Amino acid sequence: MQVIKDSQIIDDNWQSLADGAEVAAAGDISVSLSRWRQDKAQLLAHDGKLGIRISPADNVADFAGDLDKIALVELDFPDFADGRLFSHAWL
């Protein structure tokens, strides 16, 4: 898939891992906040960039102290009319 970043069209190399899915040996991955809390040590040993997916019910404070280890914060909008993720992004 391609995305727009810094006004350029680039390839999106991120893989979104489901909870319980095996972590690949290398590559850029994003995981749910609950998986981050559960498997943090294993994920930090992964060879590649790490991202966290947050949902409207998640608390930004749960990972704020780890932002130096996270390259991507992905907002999962199950319903576009739910504005809580916009508040998370602002925080």
Q: Which residues of the chain carry a pLDDT beneath 70?
A: 1, 77-91
Cβ-contact 16, 24 below 8 angstroms = no
pTM of the model: 0.75
Tens-digit pLDDT profile for residues 6-26: 888 888 788 888 898 988 778
For the chain, the domains span 13-18+25-90
Other CB atoms within a 10 A radius of the CB of residue 76 amount to 14
pLDDT at 14: 87
